[in-house]
Amino acid sequence: MRTIGRFLDLSGLTVLWDRIKELLGTKADAVSGKGLSTNDYSEAEKEKVSNAVSGISVSPNTLSVTKNNGSTTDIPMGDIFGMATSGEAGLMSASDKEKLDSFEPASHYALKADIASAYVYRGSVSAIEELPQNAQNGDEYNVETDGMNYAWNGERWDSLGAPMGAQALTPEEIEQVLN
């Protein structure tokens, strides 16, 4: 079975939680005599934070930059990136623009409704030898012995891919992430 992802199981979560508690034990403690209202934060530092960028949003035509003080600056994309051509880079590379231009109009491509019935699931069989030989193009069966799906292509049964699964992260991998 091919692994397509990793996950955190209960055992791994316990390792992670123990490590977080350990790391929290090394945090800086409160300093006696300094409460939350102590004003030892300079005006210059406050100004820096106020003018720091707090958010960026991108639309097809505009880059909007928002600062912590609430002010927003909109920058037209054309001011940042020129328009790409097949001979000159812009918002994308010239070679990517050339590839993009080579596509047909959207009306030349299949719609979801056109391909919704490309495969017709017919059920499960125990072994590959049990797949019917009088199948129609697009008939699909699950074969229980190997956990794979097969579709009839008009001449033979074609495997639609290997079973895939996920594996739990090991305690060593969790430690690696935390270090």
179 residues of the chain, pLDDT tens digit each: 666 777 888 888 888 888 888 888 887 777 777 666 566 777 888 888 887 888 888 887 788 888 888 888 888 877 777 777 778 777 778 888 888 889 888 888 877 777 766 889 999 999 999 999 999 999 999 999 988 999 999 999 999 987 777 888 888 888 887 77
Are the CB atoms for 97 and 84 separated by under 8 Å?
yes
**C-alpha to C-alpha distance for 121 and 107, rounded to whole angstroms:** 29
Locate the DSSP E strands across 8-97: 53-58, 62-67, 72-76
Ramachandran area for residue 26 (φ above 0: left; ψ -120 to 50: alpha; else beta)? alpha
Tokens 């790409």 correspond to: 84
pLDDT in the model for residue 31: 74
Domain locations in the chain as residue ranges: 53-103, 107-179
| pTM of the predicted model as reported, rounded to 2 decimal places | 0.37
pLDDT in the model for residue 35: 63
